[in-house]
Amino acid sequence: MSFNFGTPANPSDAILSLNNPNAALAVRDNATNTTSNSAPVIFRVVSQNPIQTSRVFKAALTGPWKEGSAAEDGDKNLEAEGWDSEAMHIVLSAIHHRTRNIPRKVTPEMLCNIVVLVDYYELHDTMYFFLDTWIYSLRYSIPRTYDRDLVLWICMTSVFTSPDIHKTVMNVAISHCQGEFQPLDLPIPERVIDHINTQREAALKQFGTALDDMKGKASSGYGRLLV
């Protein structure tokens, strides 16, 4: 499968090869078969667009240790690994101003795939409007229990700042996480992980203290009844 973002007036001059596309997202450390074994997806891009929107792309295409190498036809070659191919197509469409290719709504799963790309390629400014629109449209589907979907939401609202929604999903994690918080290899900042674990432990300690107080009062009351 291949996509071309060039035009007759502005032809493509770089090739991004997405190897192992659509690898499993947000899996536990002991998960197996997380690779897709699919054929690479090829994106022919106009290099000036990613260079102007992403420091990561700029370094890869123009830096002294540039990742891109020129093919025989003169096109630069870039490689990526494991990303979701639809998410990559959406992000590259935004970079190339192909707004007709960008959906009005996405699923939480797809949104997290996009957010992972935004974080890796530092595309926060370019994708701000779309991320804000998508997250707002999904605000009523926030999980109310601790599960994989909640971890996706914590990732999304950590990478893309959405204070009210981020506070909501953090509180759910603190209240319902049964053990140490697992980021599932998503780009969740350490400060967020530490906050969840610290607050969860504090809440458990507070609950234990309150339970001991209740037991003490109950025992004291029972003793007075015997007297």
Do 104 and 134 have their domain in common?
Answer: yes
Do 196 and 206 have their domain in common?
Answer: yes
User: 5-60, pLDDT tens digit by residue?
Assistant: 999 999 999 999 999 999 999 987 655 556 667 899 999 999 999 999 999 999 99
CATH number for position 57:
3.30.710.10
Confidence of residue 71 (pLDDT cuts 50, 70, 90): low
Q: How many angstroms separate the CA atoms of 99 and 94, rounded?
A: 6
Do 152 and 126 have their domain in common?
Answer: no
Domain boundary pick from 124, 141, 158: 141
Q: Please compute the mean of the pLDDT values over residues 203-209 and round it to a whole number.
A: 67
Q: Is the pLDDT of residue 66 over 70?
A: no
Domains: count for the chain: 2
User: 164-181, pLDDT tens digit by residue?
Assistant: 999 999 999 999 998 999
43 backbone dihedrals φ, ψ, rounded to 5°: -120, 115
Q: Is the pLDDT of residue 161 over 90?
A: no
Q: What is the pTM of this model?
A: 0.85
Do 216 and 131 have their domain in common?
Answer: no
Q: Cα separations (Å) of 35 from 52, 82, 112, 144, 207?
A: 32, 8, 18, 30, 42
Do 79 and 103 have their domain in common?
Answer: yes
Q: Which domain holds residue 217?
A: 142-227
Do 133 and 220 have their domain in common?
Answer: no
Domain boundary pick from 141, 163, 187: 141
Do 119 and 171 have their domain in common?
Answer: no
Q: Please compute the mean of the pLDDT values over residues 92-97 and round it to a whole number.
A: 98
Do 124 and 184 have their domain in common?
Answer: no
Do 58 and 77 have their domain in common?
Answer: yes
Confidence of residue 125 (pLDDT cuts 50, 70, 90): very high
Mean pLDDT of the chain: 88
Is the Cβ–Cβ distance between 113 and 183 less than 8 Å? no
Domain boundary pick from 141, 164, 195: 141
Q: Please compute the mean of the pLDDT values over residues 69-90 and round it to a whole number.
A: 85
So what's the pLDDT on residue 186?
Answer: 97
